Amino acid sequence: MRACLLKGQALVVGSELLIQDEQAHHLINVARITVDEKILILNGEGLSAIGQLNTINKKNLRLKIIEVKKHDHFHHIDLAIATNKKDPMEDILKMAAELGIRKIYPVRTQYSQPLNLNHERVERIFASGLEQSNNPYLPELMPEADLKSVAFSDYKTIYCFHLTGEKPSDLNPHKQDAPELIFIGPEAGFGDADIEFLKALPNIKMLTLNLPILRATTAVPVAMGLCLGRTS
């Protein structure tokens, strides 16, 4: 079923919605939907709805909401990522939306790259990720911050992936009953001052994997898989 993000849209059974502009163009001319076809509507705030198409015009379409569902978050994992070049950073943002990550913290570290994001483009990337994955929640992109300004104390556990950490096999399965944070550092590695600060955090686990050095775009899904695989 085709999915369409209508950010912040109230979704009520029996109501009619008008879809227009770029979203209507994609559904009409690219997806080539037809009258009576059903579409999954997401509002980015945890609601999804099934809408049935009533009318299709050249520039807009109308549908009727026939079912609405409220969703819980898939998990309670957020992501801190050392700032990277534009293309890999955009790939990471889309991946985060597809993986159900709630908050994304772009973090400046000793060897991170300058951040260069266009926020209108970020919104389109998030929308594409949600429509691809049917995730009902938009991620929240936090302001870029220095390492020492990140709200690490908000998290029960921080999983920081680093070249000289402990093996993940030392971690025990657990119930995820509080927010957790994955921290992926720069591809050039953390600086000495970064490591000194991170190791002093009381709620951090410095982890290393028995793998070659990973690009940040590869490290994010690997880290998510590891952390989700250890929740009961």
**For the chain, domain boundaries:** 2-70, 77-229
Question: What order do you get walking across the sheet with 47-56 strand by strand?
Answer: 2-5, 38-42, 47-56, 60-70, 16-20
- For residues 180 and 227, is the Cβ–Cβ distance under 8 A? yes
Distance CA 226, CA 82 (A): 19
pLDDT of the residue at 172: 63
pLDDT of the residue at 39: 93
User: Which CATH superfamily is 2-70 part of?
Assistant: Hypothetical PUA domain-like; domain 1 (2.40.240.20)
**pLDDT mean by block of 10 residues, the chain; 232 residues:** 92 93 84 90 97 89 95 95 94 96 96 91 96 96 95 94 69 73 91 94 89 90 87 62
Nearest to 97, CA basis, from 71, 120, 131: 131
In words, the CATH class of domain 77-229 is: alpha beta
Distance CA 179, CA 31 (A): 38
DSSP label at 168?
G
Q: pLDDT tens digits, residue range 163-184?
A: 776 666 656 666 667 899 999 9
pTM over 0.85: yes
Tokens read off for 55: 């009318």
The residue type at 209: L
pLDDT of the residue at 104: 98
- Residues sharing a CB contact under 8 Å with residue 47, sequence separation 6 or more, in sequence order: 11, 68, 69, 70, 71, 136
Nearest to 117, CA basis, from 86, 155, 91, 93: 86
